[in-house]
């Protein structure tokens, strides 16, 4: 686990990345199941696909079966047009719509997404079949600490949520958008005083930041995006066989937390590019949910925190959204 406010942190390398697009097979014979997995072609997406493949192999082996997983690489328009801001292309949902289309039209049997990129409102023909154990939910400031940024410091982030929360802490900061894969963003980091990235992405790709100043932002400082650090696996709602296989990959505590957060986002309208955040954690035998709605410029940040029974997580997430929108003034902040 990463520590807060680290300087020149040495990041762990918990997983190796396979860049092979060839099918991976465990075992063989009549009990072998073939699955086609849709994914983007970026390094992080391929790590996600490989990780899910490993989980599928382990689950199949435990059941005395084997599985053949074939990657279906989908080059999305968002990956091809790095010159266009994400919000101008319809928001982060553009990263998943073309992946979902591959499942819907039968080119693939399942798709794996970064949870924070998946809109809360998705095609009714698809179902979230599994949420594996969640990774690090936190954001990371690379290049400086928040307090160490100079007056009027220049910070690069393409996230309106990150911008709003940083601006609320440091109204003097200047922000610019930043697109590209993780390596590209780090290459561009020297042009700014700091950039903001997801801790899970850096860990999963095994990227060393031991030559940079790094501050890991705890949720109390920067509330994560809905489902940040989680992987979400979708398949067709009528594909019973695939749903049953994927059920073994579901990590129940992570699923409860992600479902509560996504219910909050759905009640707000389902857009993962809003200046909002939510983070649910298992707290004893229940859930604790923290949520916020902010003005895009960070001048106002509305917060709510509640505890509830695990079974009431989604209802509580929706109630928090309604409170922040209707009672606390969030609708005006979001221009509604």
Radius of gyration of the chain (CA): 20
Which token pair is 260? 């509560």
Candidates 232, 298, 238; CA nearest to 265 is 232
Do residues 116 and 198 lie in contact, with contact meaning Cβ atoms separated by under 8 Å?
yes
Decide: 179 and 85 in contact? Cβ < 8 Å.
yes
117 classed as catalytic: yes
- 51 vs 143: CA distance, rounded Å: 29
d(CA 227, CA 189): 26
Q: State the number of CA atoms in the 13 A half-sphere of 110 facing the CB.
A: 30
**How far from each other are the two terminal CA atoms of the chain, in whole angstroms?**
39
User: What is the 8-class DSSP label of residue 186?
Assistant: H
Burial of 220 per CB tally in 10 Å (0-12, 13-18, 19+): exposed
E strand spans, the chain: 24-25, 32-39, 66-73, 110-114, 126-130, 139-142, 154-156, 174-176, 194-198, 214-217, 231-236, 276-283, 286-294, 301-309
Which residue is catalytic, options 117, 139, 259, 304? 117
Tell me which H or E stretch contains 78.
helix 77-80
Q: Which pair of structure tokens corresponds to residue 52? A: 């899910």
In the numeric block, which tokens belong to residue 248?
Answer: 């073994």
Q: Which residues are known to be catalytic?
A: 117
């Amino acid at each position: 686990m990463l520590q807060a406010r680290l300087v020149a942190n040495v990041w762990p390398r918990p997983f190796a990345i396979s860049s092979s697009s060839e099918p991976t097979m465990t075992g063989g014979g009549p009990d072998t199941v073939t699955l086609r997995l849709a994914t983007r072609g970026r390094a992080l997406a391929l790590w996600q696909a490989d990780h899910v493949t490993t989980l599928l192999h382990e689950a199949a082996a435990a059941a005395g079966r084997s599985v053949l997983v074939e990657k279906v690489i989908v080059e999305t328009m968002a990956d091809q047009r790095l010159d266009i801001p994400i919000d101008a292309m319809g928001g982060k949902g553009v990263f998943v719509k073309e992946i979902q289309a591959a499942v819907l039209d039968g080119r693939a049997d399942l798709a794996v997404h970064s949870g924070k990129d998946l809109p809360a409102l998705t095609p009714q023909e698809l179902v979230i079949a599994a949420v594996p154990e969640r990774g690090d939910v936190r954001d990371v400031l690379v290049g400086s600490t928040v307090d160490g940024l100079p007056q009027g410091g220049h910070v690069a982030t393409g996230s309106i949520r990150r911008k709003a929360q940083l601006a609320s802490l440091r109204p003097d900061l200047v922000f610019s958008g930043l697109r590209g894969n993780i390596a590209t963003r780090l290459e561009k980091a020297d042009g700014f005083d700091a950039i903001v990235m997801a801790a899970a992405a850096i860990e999963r790709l095994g990227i060393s930041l031991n030559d940079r100043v790094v501050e890991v932002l705890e949720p109390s400082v920067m509330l994560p995006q809905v489902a940040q650090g989680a992987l979400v696996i979708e398949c067709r709602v009528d594909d019973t066989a695939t749903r049953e296989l994927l059920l073994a990959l579901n990590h129940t505590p992570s699923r409860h937390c992600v479902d509560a957060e996504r219910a909050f986002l759905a009640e707000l309208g389902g857009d993962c590019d809003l200046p909002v955040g939510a983070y649910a954690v298992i707290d004893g035998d229940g859930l604790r949910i923290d949520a916020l709605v902010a003005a895009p410029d960070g001048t106002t940040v509305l917060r709510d925190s509640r505890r509830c029974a695990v079974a009431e997580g989604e209802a509580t997430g929706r109630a928090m959204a309604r409170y922040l929108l209707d009672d606390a003034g969030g609708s005006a902040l979001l221009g509604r």
